[in-house]
Amino acid sequence: MSEDSCIIRHFSHYGELSTSDKRLLADLEQSPTEVKGDHILWQEGDSAREFCTLSRGWAYSFRHMEDGSRQILEIYLPGDIIGLREFAFKERLTGVAMLEDGMICHFPHRRLISVFRESLTLSTIFFAISSHQQALLTERLVNLARRSARQRLAHLIYEMFIRLERTKARQGNSIRLPLSQQHLGDALGLSSVHVSRTLTAFREEGLLLRSRQRIELPDPGALAREAEFGDAYLNDGIDHFFNH
């Protein structure tokens, strides 16, 4: 059992794990797999038999539309769990692809049953993770439906800023954002040209500075105000369940 296990590190974010909890999680983990950028982990309609943990690198889920366009639905950061939502389904609801080189760890769905049977804490964390992912999707829907192009882009960048802080992957007010303008457009329902113009406007207004894959926020609060950002959907945690 290794404390470096990607799933143990991720679950520890939600609460303190006992030795037996860690052993159950370690038993789920199979050999980590190196994957290249742009690699398709699975396509929509594929058999859903496992979920995985993203140990290193970024990934995203997507749907191909009838007109040939692509809608990016979720953006996964190192430590995130991918495919958990499809535990109750026979087929994949979306495709998943790597944004960059990384590493994933596989966990067969069928082996979750023993975890649910043996650990209340882990069962609660699995449910909390699923709830957290649903909250991210709900906020993405609001972002697409009710915010301007400027607000959409500001909101997504600031959300990444907050999520990376919580995984200790942020350097001050600077983050690495390995999303191309096309990826940003596909996630926000915008053309890459519109994304480029908006990023240029943000730079000219001093809201952000971008150099290749790195973005610096000179005044994070200003970008949050531009996005009308509310962080309630990111304030996850289950400690209150076990403190009574």
Confidence bin at 199 (pLDDT 50/70/90): very high
pLDDT of residue 170: 83
Q: What is the pLDDT of residues 43-91, one digit of tens each?
A: 999 999 998 988 899 999 999 988 888 999 999 998 888 998 898 899 9
pLDDT-wise least confident of 7-21, 55-69, 136-150, 184-198: 7-21
pLDDT of residue 79: 83
What is the DSSP code string of 184-232? HHHHHT--HHHHHHHHHHHHHTTS-EEETTEEE-S-HHHHHHHHT---G
Sheet holding 209-211, edge to edge: 174-176, 214-216, 209-211
Q: Cα–Cα distance between 44 and 63 in angstroms, integer?
A: 7
Q: pTM for the full model?
A: 0.88
Q: What is the pLDDT of residues 229-243, one digit of tens each?
A: 998 888 766 665 555
pLDDT-wise least confident of 30-34, 77-81, 222-226: 30-34
Q: Cα–Cα distance between 153 and 147 in angstroms, integer?
A: 9
> What average pLDDT does this structure show over 8-28?
84
Beta carbons of 46 and 40 less than 8 angstroms apart: no
Instruction: Kindly report the average pLDDT of the chain as a whole number.
Output: 89
> What average pLDDT does this structure show over 177-183?
95
Report which secondary-structure segment, H or E, holds 38.
none
Two structure tokens written together for 100:
């960059």
Q: Domains of the chain by range and CATH?
A: 6-140 (2.60.120.10), 148-227 (1.10.10.10)
The helices-and-strands tally (H runs, E runs) of the chain is: 8, 11
Confidence bin at 178 (pLDDT 50/70/90): very high
Higher pLDDT, 38 or 28: 38
30, pLDDT greater than 70: no
What is the DSSP code string of 135-195? HHHHHHHHHHHHS-HHHHHHHHHHHHHHHHHHTT--BTTEEE----HHHHHHHHT--HHHH
The phi, psi pair for 41, rounded to 5°, reads -70, -40
- pLDDT more than 70, % of the chain: 93
Q: Cα–Cα distance between 61 and 94 in angstroms, integer?
A: 6
Q: Cα–Cα distance between 40 and 82 in angstroms, integer?
A: 13
Beta carbons of 161 and 167 less than 8 angstroms apart: no
